[in-house]
Chains A and B, each alone.
Chain A
Amino acid sequence: AQKITQTQPGMFVQEKEAVTLDCTYDTSDQSYGLFWYKQPSSGEMIFLIYQGSYDEQNATEGRYSLNFQKARKSANLVISASQLGDSAMYFCAMRGFNFGNEKLTFGTGTRLTIIP
């Protein structure tokens, strides 16, 4: 079984500041992938960044970076220089590679609000 925990229901951040969204996970798989998605008020799920469990370096995609700490089973999303358009729900998700775990399992999400 896989489980994703996001403990921050909501966050308020000043524009241009960096923000860290927390995510911890639990899985019995040795190999797995971790994802972050953004969901604006319009409802679509937008893929942001991916980290493989055996990747030695933290993933980065533009202003997004993933702080992966395997021993602590955490995969926090860092958004640098936040913008008003970053206001949205953010979901952490994981996918295992063992039989039965080849599906995205999501956390409950964090609502991020950027303040001008």
Chain B
Amino acid sequence: EAGVVQSPRYKIIEKKQPVAFWCNPISGHNTLYWYRQNLGQGPELLIRYENEEAVDDSQLPKDRFSAERLKGVDSTLKIQPAELGDSAVYLCASSPPGVIGYGYTFGSGTRLTVV
């Protein structure tokens, strides 16, 4: 079974430029999460999808961040324009329906550096 796939693995951009991250969850996992992990910190939730519906986006900075999950499978997270403080690792995770004790499966993350 393929795991959660994220791309790109690394991205370096100049401030004020746009950037996009892509995530393909595990087949059958209807719940998808985007987390941001700052250096030396634990991951923090940005947005949670149940199928194609964003059910928790309260921590997403909506002035510059956007996300979509078309057809309830792949998801894209976009930042426009990027700021220096956006430098972090962006993690995507997925989980299957109805299984509480199943640890969410994380992708390898995208390490974003804004210069």
Contacts and interface: CB of A to CB of B under 8 A. Distances in A.
Asked if A and B are interacting partners, one says yes
Interface of A: 4, 33, 35, 37, 42-48, 50, 52, 91, 93, 95, 97, 100, 102-109
A109 B41 contact: yes
Contact of B91 (A42, A45, A93, A95): A45
A52 B109 contact: no
A4 B89 CA distance: 20
Contacts of A52: 100-101
Given A106-B42, A108-B41, A109-B42, A43 B104 contact: no
27 contacts: A33-B101, A35-B103, A37-B106, A43-B108, A43-B111, A44-B108, A44-B109, A45-B43, A45-B91, A45-B93, A46-B106, A50-B101, A50-B103, A100-B56, A102-B56, A103-B45, A103-B56, A104-B33, A104-B45, A105-B45, A106-B42, A106-B43, A106-B44, A108-B40, A108-B42, A109-B41, A109-B42
**Residue from A43, A107, A109 whose CB has the most chain B CB atoms within 10 Å:** A43
Interface in B48-90: 48, 56, 89
Interface residues of B, number: 23
A93 B93 CA distance: 14
Interface of B: 33, 40-45, 48, 56, 89, 91, 93, 100-109, 111
Given A103-B33, A103-B56, A109-B41, A47 B111 contact: no
Contacts of A95: 100
Contact of B100 (A43, A93, A97, A105): A97
A108 B41 CA distance: 5
Nearest to A100: B56
A76 to B, nearest CB: 17
